[in-house]
Structure 1
């Protein structure tokens, strides 16, 4: 046990030294376009760690576990199950390393989408669309199109092939003891223990990603308890081995996330010359409101009656130079899985291709990946010149984009909220940050 804790501490210290934390998501990411974890060092090459540090780390984990036990029991976990499942558990160094790591370079959205919509993935999805006899029944029951479900399946686990082999109980205990997302991790650990206690699944069956997302459609333990379904009728909600249960469970999750049957997810649009880009990520209005401002569907087709009645928000994932979309409510339902614009676009665009759709009218611009230091420098610069982007963590989220749009307006630039390498250079120059 001491050696395992030494490896844990080495990786923890290294991860904290070189990276900033990920933003917390509604659904922690399955291993998709992320860096591969580093292999822990072997005992023969593990640097010597002072015993006092090892003892401190051991004491911290044990103190958390002792503190957590009465709270878990108060939440409904029996003392017997708690003691049986957590006795002898040690933190997983790979989990802590992955949680603390942020990619050094941020992949441009166009490159991300290109990786999502590969020819092989499209071919597999179209084949499964025809092969899986239960898809029409799931679609009829939940109102979620089969192509959306196939896209989720493809993105989350490569159609069930890459589900993750982490022990979910140990992963959640590791994240909870580490403390960065303690309340969330403890809640998921309690949910996992309740699954085991119910007898529905064993500890050995609860395998998933490093962040606790399980099975073919990567459900967190709490999501599994609340939304997983037994669609094939065998008496078990099997999101690991049953394709039907997995996709029906995904449909149920999307419905609970606000999915509207009979409505699209988004449409690519063309913006007129002189358009006010500051409207991006702003008002959600029916398509007719946007048409009054010169916005037109890129395919030239009229809106369906169902879509025409929905509030839609403009998104410019690659800025003014890239494709524009009017996002319908189902775009935001997709973000129940992963609260990321790029992720939801990937799901929707891949689903469109499964259904026979073609590529976008406006191509993605060729962009240089931004380094972590550049992203952080841009946030620091925005704060220095009077626009609050939130913490300088290198995560270009809604707050940073809002601050960037306000700064762009002050500079009489297209206020698209897109952080390009040119915007980074302009911000650093104005804020007096040297390269």
Structure 2
């Protein structure tokens, strides 16, 4: 496929013949003109040399073209939208950048539940007259939807202005998440080809999430809805479409109407923390182990019939939660425990709830080197946490709980600075 930056520029240098008479003019001017001189030949000036990155990008693009066409993208749309596209270095940098410090969950939640955000959310829940109709159609409470809206785009104010097609092409070329990014790029091209939205309308975050509720192109195609009835699924300009689309996504992700998302609980002394993030049992099972709701209220019939999992996001010293099925539905939006807790706790505050009974402890942020060292140490002493990537996910917490049990420590799976020091010492990792 010819690319714009490959075109050679032809500069035609026009010459002019010298018609000045030779010698003195002593008589009448001759009636004939001197023979015209031919212009010099065109000078071919090559374009600037092509960089190695451009060559690699073009090679990926040529290879990807076949996959895109096989997936149903027309050659005309592919060539029109991707001709001349170059990788965006900012997108690639943001994708590869790992945070040096991991924000403790308590600090993260404190940032989520600001006084200003709670005030705006409470005002919106009264002002937006379409919210009851969305609740009735999809079964997702308005407060959850408002929390998603607040978290994803500050109630629609911060949607991002990256060109989604270029962003997804950059991520696909970079290769770290190639299959995923190519799938999203194909989805974006199909949106354009359908005529529903133009390339100029597909703006979003650097990672391709679009609109007020930050939908990826594939999610937009599958779950966005036209709730205001204007004939367009407008997640950029329509509040109603944006929140109804979020409700549809959560409903398809398993949201159970009438069931809660989680409840804060109090654990008894001597509790066996090793069941954290392992057992999914009915609330009665947990009550038999001495687990009580922090608010002292009874379980509703719907919640009492729902399996729940114990979460200790800040370890044994922090608040504990029994996560109900809708906690995991929220995680279809963003598969992060902290994110789902942020959405649920913010929604509770919109509905008039107060702060947690157990406060978040003061936590020391762990840097990337310490998180990776802990994962390497766990593997060395026989507890596989998965790749040493510095991300303290479910695999790392599971391995940590097993190691804590082997050391007769509270097996809460919480990676504190003290746990890092103990692990490094046992594995022989010097500071």
Q: Tell me by how many angstroms 1:55 deviates.
A: 2.8
Which digits, 9 at most, give the CA deviation of each residue in 1:46-92, with x for residues without a partner?
xxxxx99x732111100000000011001000000000000000000
Equivalent position to 2:280, from 277, 284, 287? 284
Which digits, 9 at most, give the CA deviation of each residue in 1:345-369, with x for residues without a partner?
0000000000000000000000010
Aligned to 1:167: 163
1:404 paired to 2:400: yes
Equivalent position to 2:77, from 74, 81, 85? 81
In 2: Cα distance, 1:94 partner to 1:132 partner: 37
SS of residue paired to 1:94: helix
Aligned to 1:137: 133
In 2: Cα distance, 1:137 partner to 1:304 partner: 24
User: Unaligned regions of 5+ residues in structure 1, if any?
Assistant: 5-50
State the structure with bigger RCO (CA 8 A, min sep 6), 1 or 2.
1
Equivalent position to 1:385, from 381, 386, 391? 381
In 2: Cα distance, 1:352 partner to 1:138 partner: 18
In 2: Cα distance, 1:433 partner to 1:166 partner: 43
Which digits, 9 at most, give the CA deviation of each residue in 1:135-171, with x for residues without a partner?
1110111110000000000000000000000000000
Q: Tell me by how many angstroms 1:257 deviates.
A: 0.3
- Using the size of structure 1 for normalisation, the TM-score is 0.88
SS of residue paired to 1:231: coil
Aligned to 1:308: 304
Aligned residues: 386
SS of residue paired to 2:78: helix
Aligned to 1:150: 146
1:203 paired to 2:199: yes
- Using the size of structure 2 for normalisation, the TM-score is 0.88
Aligned to 1:430: 426
1:326 paired to 2:322: yes
Greater share of helix residues, 1 or 2?
1
Counterparts in 2 of 1:361-376, with a 5 A limit? 361-376=357-372
Equivalent position to 2:180, from 180, 184, 196? 184
In 2: Cα distance, 1:330 partner to 1:419 partner: 26
In 2: Cα distance, 1:199 partner to 1:275 partner: 58
Aligned to 1:241: 237
Larger Rg: 2
SS of residue paired to 2:207: coil
Instruction: After the TM superposition, list the runs of 4 or more consecutive aligned residues in structure 1 that deviate by more than 2 angstroms.
Output: none
In 1: Cα distance, 2:123 partner to 2:187 partner: 36
In 2: Cα distance, 1:254 partner to 1:55 partner: 45
Which digits, 9 at most, give the CA deviation of each residue in 1:320-354, with x for residues without a partner?
00000000000000001110000000000000000
Counterparts in 2 of 1:26-65, with a 5 A limit? 55-65=51-61
1:118 paired to 2:135: no
In 2: Cα distance, 1:365 partner to 1:57 partner: 47
SS of residue paired to 1:344: helix
Aligned to 1:46: none
SS of residue paired to 1:310: coil
Aligned to 1:30: none
SS of residue paired to 1:409: helix
Which digits, 9 at most, give the CA deviation of each residue in 1:105-134, with x for residues without a partner?
000000000000000000000000110000
Which digits, 9 at most, give the CA deviation of each residue in 1:243-290, with x for residues without a partner?
000000000000000000011000000001111101110111110010
